[in-house]
Amino acid sequence: MFFILSKTFGFFAMPSNAIAALFVLAALLLVIGWRRGGRCLLALAVVVLLVVGYSPLTTLLLLPLTERFPAWQPDGRDPDGIIILGGAINPDISAARGSIELEGSGERVLAMLRLARRYPHARIVFTGGSANLTAAPVPEAPIAGRLLDEFGVARDRVVLESRSRTTDENARFTRELVTPRPGERWLLVTSAFHMPRSVGVFRAAGFDVEAYPVDWGLRGWSDALLPLETLGHGLRRADLAMHEWSGLAAYWLSGKSRELFPGPR
């Protein structure tokens, strides 16, 4: 139920979808003869679209998320395991094309391969099922497993978790599979903007992890006041930021995370 509710609410919470709804509502008002209300709503939709699409507002919403956890630094102690969260591979297109099709967060996969080679004794855990609400589910983890095979990572090092559909399930199902022991060191690889929510649910699941953020998307606070070059870029940033902020609130309110805005310890 939480998965369905999160997908439904998430669709309407996206700024791009909300702006589209404003345009549709304005058009309906004009069609039924409410011209003044329709024109006012249309003007509002245009202003919101331009502000969200081109102003630094969306960057300012995203930066607190991406900068919450610093880049991981090795200290001479190798990790016992490395967990990679799904969301980097498009499983539906990969299955249809018989290839491995990466999404915008493909840096997660690159980090997986680099870390697997750098730490040859660490277990590699890829957790990702299917988040598709409308089509037949195609899990992501087996495709990642195929990629690890192609790069020569020994199968006895690899754990694939393919049931999870949410970040909360990523944490709980992974913990059940690997049963981490006290004193073990586990890295968590995901996009920087997704790291606060991810760390929060892993902590709530009783799995102590160290953040290994990738896919930063921004240079840092130096980007805070820069306007965006394309409308689509701004809308995408707005959707990412709103998805994560609403997810943080929902996970905290539902008890799936004990912290509203998890950070480094």
Give the pLDDT confidence score for residue 242 in this predicted structure. 95
């190798």: which residue's tokens? Answer: 78
- Show the tokens assigned to 161: 């978790």
Give the pLDDT confidence score for residue 18 in this predicted structure. 93
- Sheet of 186-191, strand order: 158-161, 123-127, 81-85, 186-191, 210-214
Query: What superfamily would CATH give domain 71-214?
Result: HUPs (3.40.50.620)
Query: What's the rounded Cα separation, in Å, for the pair 111 and 99?
Result: 19
Query: What's the rounded Cα separation, in Å, for the pair 247 and 241?
Result: 10
Cβ-proximal residues to 73 (8 Å cutoff; 6+ apart), any chain: none
Give the pLDDT confidence score for residue 190 in this predicted structure. 98
**56-81 exposure pattern, b = at least 16 Cβ within 10 A, e = fewer:** bbbbebbbebbebbeebeeeeeebbb
Give the pLDDT confidence score for residue 6 in this predicted structure. 59
pTM tops 0.85: yes
Domain boundaries of the chain, sorted by first residue: 2-65+224-253, 71-214
Give the pLDDT confidence score for residue 168 in this predicted structure. 96
Give the pLDDT confidence score for residue 137 in this predicted structure. 83
Output the tens digit of pLDDT for each of the chain's 265 residues.
Answer: 555 555 556 677 799 999 999 999 999 999 999 999 999 999 999 999 999 999 999 999 999 999 999 999 999 999 999 999 999 999 999 999 999 999 989 999 999 999 999 999 999 999 999 877 666 789 999 999 999 999 999 999 999 999 999 999 999 999 999 999 999 999 999 999 999 999 999 999 999 999 999 999 999 999 999 999 899 999 999 999 999 999 999 999 999 999 999 999 8
